[in-house]
Amino acid sequence: MHCDIYKFPKHDDMYVYIARPDYPDDTEDIKDWLGVLPKDFRAGLGVSKFVMHLDLTETTKLARVDKEEVLAKLQSQGYFVQMPPQDVMRRQAELRAREAQDNIYD
């Protein structure tokens, strides 16, 4: 199974894997690969940045997620969302809370 991986500047360390089951035969037409994402979720992501193309059959393991879980999600829904580690999410939440508190006094 081939997939493309994207990141989003608004969301540190979050990656979205998009299934490319017909690769390389699907490369002639330019497509909106992120169109498989639910509209509300996609709208909240912001601008995407392509990270890499990956052949999961040739990859023995992935750094932060289980390869079998990624494959199952790609096959069932066409995408997989890799969330940031808990410490990164906690740090982002703290920063947002501080910014919101600081904005109260502006």
User: Is the peptide bond preceding residue 24 cis, with omega within 30 degrees of 0?
Assistant: yes
CB 53 within 8 A of CB 4: yes
Q: What is the pLDDT of residues 62-82, one digit of tens each?
A: 888 889 999 999 999 999 999
Task: Quickly count: other Cβ atoms within 10 Å of residue 104's Cβ.
Answer: 6
Domain boundaries, the chain: 2-104
**How high is the pLDDT of residue 105?**
63
Q: Which CATH class, in words, describes the domain spanning 2-104?
A: alpha beta
- Alpha-helical segments (H) within the chain: 39-45, 67-77, 86-104
CB 54 within 8 A of CB 16: no
pTM for this one?
Answer: 0.76
- Are β-strands 49-55 and 79-82 bridged in parallel, bridged antiparallel, or unpaired? unpaired
